[in-house]
């Protein structure tokens, strides 16, 4: 199990909104604005609970992109800095 470390900052922002700045042990970061301290805490708790699921989804996406790039190279779609999208 990884060492779970979170940084959560909740501060009054403006117009009765609270700025919630978050970072997790996977390096993910997020900033949202919530209308109350209770909503800010609720958001922070849920965001932290989802850290490992979010990281797993990021890794799956990264592998899929890597595989698509490899398939494009095999098919000859990407050559000489061209991505075939022009």
d(C-alpha 50, C-alpha 70), whole Å: 30
Residue 34 burial (CB count, 10 A) = 18
Residue 61 burial (CB count, 10 A) = 10
Whole-structure pTM value: 0.69
User: In this prediction, what percent of the chain has a pLDDT beyond 70?
Assistant: 87
Of residues 10 and 83, more confidently modeled? 10
In a domain, 2, yes or no: no
In a domain, 80, yes or no: no
In a domain, 63, yes or no: yes
In a domain, 81, yes or no: no
Q: Which structural domain range is residue 55 located in? A: 7-75
What the block records as the tokens of 38 is 């209770």
In a domain, 84, yes or no: no
């Amino acid at each position: 199990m990884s060492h779970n470390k979170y940084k959560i900052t909740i501060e009054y922002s403006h117009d009765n909104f609270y700025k919630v700045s978050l970072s997790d042990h996977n390096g993910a970061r997020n900033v949202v604005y919530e209308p109350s301290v209770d909503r800010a805490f609720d958001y922070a708790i849920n965001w932290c609970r989802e850290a490992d699921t979010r990281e797993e989804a990021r890794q799956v996406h990264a592998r899929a992109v890597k595989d698509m790039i490899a398939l494009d190279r095999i098919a000859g779609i990407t050559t000489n800095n061209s991505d075939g999208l022009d």
